[in-house]
Chain A
Amino acid sequence: DQQVKQNSPSLSVQEGRISILNCDYTNSMFDYFLWYKKYPAEGPTFLISISSIKDKNEDGRFTVFLNKSAKHLSLHIVPSQPGDSAVYFCAARANDYKLSFGAGTTVTVRA
């Protein structure tokens, strides 16, 4: 049962432009959402998170937006840089102990 879905397996963007990654969820008990970035041969690295009581959280070039009514969140990266090329995972947490992950979106930043 896939409770967190990332429907775009890949995204290609030109350096300096905006990258927008999308994530949908089905479990209304999720109260905290996270984005992780993963390079090959490394574990996922925590990027940014947002609580369900907020609709936006910003950290430098990264902004996460949450639309609870639509059960949708997105990650904006502005401006995109070559080092941003990686797999990005959306994850969600209910009031328990585990993270539920989407399948990931591979971002390629073109020079």
Chain B
Amino acid sequence: DAGVTQSPTHLIKTRGQHVTLRCSPISGHKSVSWYQQVLGQGPQFIFQYYEKEERGRGNFPDRFSARQFPNYSSELNVNALLLGDSALYLCASSEGTGAYEQYFGPGTRLTVT
């Protein structure tokens, strides 16, 4: 079975631009979570979506938004990019919000110049 997939793998953007990152969960998983990992730190929770509804949000500004589609795939959008948004963005899927194990994709490396 395919694991969590994310696209693109790498991305370079300029300050002030907008970016969209994509994630496809493991087949049968209905919950998708997004995390930001800055170099030298552990992943930080951004959002969780379940059945197309936002179930949780971390301490990130409103420039960050996300959505989940009927096929359970998800997009993470970041507006007005800042240099500090440079990070590895990880998507994780789980069977549901009550599931304890989350399975991560390979991530999208975003560089903001």
Known: A43-B104, A43-B105, A89-B43. A98 touches B90 (CB 8 A): no
Give the number of residues in B that approach A within 8 Å (Cβ atoms). 26
Pair count A-B, CB < 8 A:
60
**Among the listed A36, A44, A93, A100, which residue makes an inter-chain contact with B100, where contact means beta carbons less than 8 Å apart?**
A93
Q: Which of B16-62 contact A (CB under 8 A)?
A: 33, 35, 40-45, 48, 50, 55-56, 58
Question: What is the bound-complex CA distance between A65 and B107, given in angstroms?
Answer: 29
CA distance A41 to B104 in the complex (A): 12
Please indicate the chain B residues that have their CB under 8 angstroms from the CB of A101 in the complex.
35, 42-44
A38 to B38, CA, bound (A): 14
How far apart sit A100 and B56, CA to CA, in the bound complex (Å)? 13
Give CA–CA (A44, B44) in the complex, Å: 13
A66: min CB distance to chain B, Å:
14
**A interface residues, Cβ below 8 angstroms from B:** 4, 6, 32, 34, 36, 41-46, 49, 89, 91, 93, 96-104
Given A44-B90, A97-B97, A103-B41, 20 other A-B residues pairs in contact with their CB atoms under 8 A? A34-B100, A36-B104, A42-B106, A43-B4, A43-B106, A46-B102, A46-B103, A46-B104, A91-B42, A93-B100, A97-B56, A98-B45, A99-B33, A99-B35, A99-B43, A99-B102, A100-B45, A101-B35, A101-B44, A104-B41
